[in-house]
Amino acid sequence: MQFTKAEEYGMMGVLYLAEKDRNSVTPLSEISEAKNIPEKFLAKIFQSLSRTGIVRSHRGVRGGFTLSRNPGEIPVKEVLEAIQGPYHLMKCIKDEGICDESEFCALRELLIIAENRLLEVFETHTLLDLVKWQNARTVLSR
C-alpha cells in the first residue's frame, strides 16, 4: 500500500494549517510554497477537504483556508477519506462479488485484518498527534 500524491499533499497541507493559529487565514499559495506542492493540484485537494468540512474556505483579498475544528478533533482517517474516499487494501474487500474466490479466500481474510488495524491507527491518531511528533522531531534534530 502506498499513499497517492493527493493523500500525501493533502496531509502536508492540513498539517501546515494545524501548526498555524486557528484564527489566521492561510493563503493556498503560502501552503504550496512552504511545502513545495503544485498550487493547482493543492487547490483541487483543498476543494475536497472543504466540501467535507475539514477545512474552511475564506474568500476575498485576504482569502485562504483554516481548519474547521481543533487539530485534536480531526482524525487522520477523516482527512484521507475526504481526499480519496473509503480506504480498502483490495477491491474485493469492498465488493465480494468481483472475484471467483469470494466464498473463501485466505488472502482476502488476511487483508481484512490488516485493513481493520490500519484504519484503527488512522482513526485513533489526530492531526494534533502528528503535529506533536513533528515538533518533537524538530527539537531533537537541533
pLDDT for residue 103: 66
pLDDT for residue 17: 97
pLDDT for residue 121: 96
Per-run averaged pLDDT (10 residues), the chain, 142 residues: 90 96 92 97 96 94 92 97 86 71 76 92 96 82 64
pLDDT for residue 140: 67
Question: The C-alpha cell of 6 is what?
Answer: 493527493
Tell me, what CATH number does 130's domain have?
1.10.10.10
Q: Residues for the chain: how many in total?
A: 142
Which residues on neighbouring strands pair with residue 57, listed in sequence order?
Answer: 65
pLDDT for residue 105: 80
Count structural domains, the chain.
Answer: 1
Q: What is the residue whose three cell numbers read 485484518?
A: 113
Q: CB count, 10 Å around CB of 29?
A: 12
Instruction: For residue 82, give every residue at least 6 positions away whose Cβ sits within 8 Å of its Cβ, in sequence order, or none.
Output: 10, 48, 49, 51, 52, 54
- CA distance readout (Å), 91 to 22, 47, 142: 38, 26, 44
Instruction: For residue 6, give every residue at least 6 positions away whose Cβ sits within 8 Å of its Cβ, in sequence order, or none.
Output: 41, 44, 45, 83, 84
pLDDT for residue 96: 67
Could you give the 3-state DSSP secondary structure of residue 60? coil
Q: Which domain holds residue 28?
A: 5-141
